Amino acid sequence: MKSSRSRSRSKNSRNRNNNSGGGGNVVNRVFDSSGPEGKVRGTPQQIIDKYNQLARDAQLSGDRVATENFQQHAEHYLRLLSEAQREIDARREEQERQNRERQAERDRQAERDRERNAQRQDSAGEQQSDPAHAPQPDVMDAGADSNLVETPESQPKPKPPRSRKPRNKPNVDADAPSEPAPDKGSAPEAAE
């Protein structure tokens, strides 16, 4: 018997430590409240409503002591709920403050980026208007001592030979046979 009592006491104290005080989601947690009329189970708001209803019933029956007792139980859970709500509000305000700080930092970074881009565009515009800042082509001297290899693409294309139509010259001497005109492309034949 003795061991079961100590076990039940430790279990109750563990529940009390978990249910009361610091953090956790007290608003939605289900509590077991041992009131004067037995256990009341529910979330803090449900327990408050139940104790207020029991206090009204006790007041209607004329039991001032029971009325006060139920009101005190309701007040306990009301304090518990309001403390939890204050903690929730404080956490929410802290998160909102951090979010505002992060957003302000992102806005500052975006402004710095816009300024950098504007400076780049301004300097690019200045460089384009000033020929000294314009990109210059690479010039190489392809002199006789260069190690470059001549390729067909780099050589100038020869012009195709022009064909000439013979002009009709009036023959001065109709009896003399006409000699064909020597070709410019062929070498003159040596006389024998």
Contact 64, 29 (CB under 8 A): no
- The verdict on residue 60 lying in a domain is yes
In a domain, 57, yes or no: yes
Does a structural domain hold residue 144? no
Is the per-residue pLDDT at 35 higher than 70?
Answer: yes
**DSSP letter (8 states) at residue 38:** E
pTM here is: 0.43
Evaluate whether residue 95 is within a structural domain: yes
Residue 38 within a domain: yes
Exposed e or buried b per residue across 71-107, where buried means at least 16 C-beta atoms within 10 angstroms of its C-beta: bebbebbbebbeebeeeeeeeeeeeeeeeeeeeeeee
pLDDT at 95: 95
Measure the CA angle with vertex 146, ends 140 and 152; round to 5°.
85
Residue 175 domain flag: no
The number of distinct structural domains making up the chain is 1
Among 60, 61, 65, 35, smallest CA distance to 48 is for: 35
Among 16, 45, 11, 15, CA closest to 28: 45
Residue 45 lies in a domain: yes
Query: 60 φ, ψ to 5°?
Result: -65, -30
Contacts of 67 (CB under 8 A, 6+ apart): 55, 58, 59
| Tens digit of each residue's pLDDT (9 = 90 or more) over 111-153 | 999 998 888 887 766 655 666 666 777 766 655 566 777 777 7
In a domain, 172, yes or no: no
CA angle 161, 165, 169 (to 5 degrees): 140
Whether residue 71 has pLDDT greater than 90: yes
Mean predicted confidence (pLDDT) in 70-76: 93
- Domain residue limits at 37: 27-125
Tell me what pLDDT residue 38 has: 81
Q: How far apart are CA 82 and CA 78, in angstroms?
A: 6
Helix axes 64-129, 44-61, angle to 10 degrees: 150
Q: Report the chain's C-alpha Rg in angstroms.
A: 54
Which pLDDT band, with edges at 50, 70 and 90, does 70 fall under?
Answer: very high
Phi, psi at residue 35, to the nearest 5°?
-95, 180
The pLDDT of residue 164 is above 50: yes
